[in-house]
Structure 1
């Protein structure tokens, strides 16, 4: 260039590209939302797994009760154990259910069966009636005669329906 033409000009200098740290506020907000969603998802999965294991333990306990009855053939102990198991499981559906007595307890159990089966009232009029009086009779009383197979099958159906209904409400 000709020195008489003027001062020598330099080209425009661009600033350095922005660094990746610290992130913009939007990225911080997105990270916070992601952590909250992750914590909620883990908590929900943990709760679902805990409930699934509890339902499996309840079903396994009913099978242990049935196996114990098959060994001992004690109808009174069977009705006591099945009633206690159903009372514990019923607290998931309605906390007040475990305190129900007499016909109200059997009506509650019938009400939480599938619609077609509830109309037949198998607890109030069928094998489930044994839950009401068999635990309180003498073991040698002929009135203690309990249809054990029907009672265990009824308890299985009730647990299957009630625990599935509880799981869908959770």
Structure 2
């Protein structure tokens, strides 16, 4: 067949092309619901974890304060702080409660940005109060208050596992 002998096809009428409608933004596709669910669960988990951490810290501070409230005299409070610190030290190092004197104070200062219990000359006032305060007949109340602040902070950090 030659091209001249092929019958011509009739021209097909073409219609104008219309673009389809774009998908609506609501409701989102099922994959987006899954992403939203994962984000909400993660956020809820973080909030629960932070709440539990804060609750545990508050419970530890309450226990420390309650143990000191049981002690009547300032010397008894120093003895209670020493006992609580030694218990907490065992969570860091099982043999830490056997340390004494300057070695114990250096262990208490380990990891702190500024030493509190020791100084360049040996023991600081706070360290001396901790070492000797339980054995003195009279201990100054402001020395016990200064020791309480640092001992409480160290106790809570060690008991939280930091």
Q: How far apart are residue 34 of structure 1 and its match?
A: 2.3
Question: Aligned runs of 1:95-134 on 2, under 5 Å?
Answer: 95-97=91-93, 99-100=95-96, 101-102=99-100, 103-113=102-112, 115=114, 117=116, 120=119, 124-129=123-128, 131-132=130-131
Unaligned runs of 5+ in 1: 1-17, 138-142
Q: How many residues align?
A: 142
Residues 133 and 150 of structure 1: CA distance in aligned 2, closer, same or farther (over 3 Å): closer
Q: How far apart are residue 155 of structure 1 and its match?
A: 3.1
Query: What is the TM-score normalised by the length of structure 2?
Result: 0.53
Aligned counterpart in structure 1 of residue 54 of structure 2, from 52, 62, 83: 52
Query: What is the TM-score normalised by the length of structure 1?
Result: 0.51
Q: 1: distance between equivalents of 2:117 and 2:73?
A: 28
Flag the structure with larger Rg.
Answer: 2
Q: How far apart are residue 50 of structure 1 and its match?
A: 1.6
Is 1:150–2:143 an aligned residue pair?
yes
Question: Aligned runs of 1:67-82 on 2, under 5 Å?
Answer: 67-69=69-71, 72-73=72-73, 75=75, 77-82=76-81
Q: How far apart are residue 58 of structure 1 and its match?
A: 2.6
Residues 147 and 51 of structure 1: CA distance in aligned 2, closer, same or farther (over 3 Å): farther
Match of 1:65 in 2: 67
Superposed CA RMSD: 4.7
SS in 2 for 1:115: coil
Q: How far apart are residue 85 of structure 1 and its match?
A: 3.0
- Please identify which structure carries the higher helix content: 1
Q: 2: distance between equivalents of 1:125 and 1:66?
A: 22
Q: 1: distance between equivalents of 2:77 and 2:93?
A: 20
Q: How far apart are residue 89 of structure 1 and its match?
A: 5.3
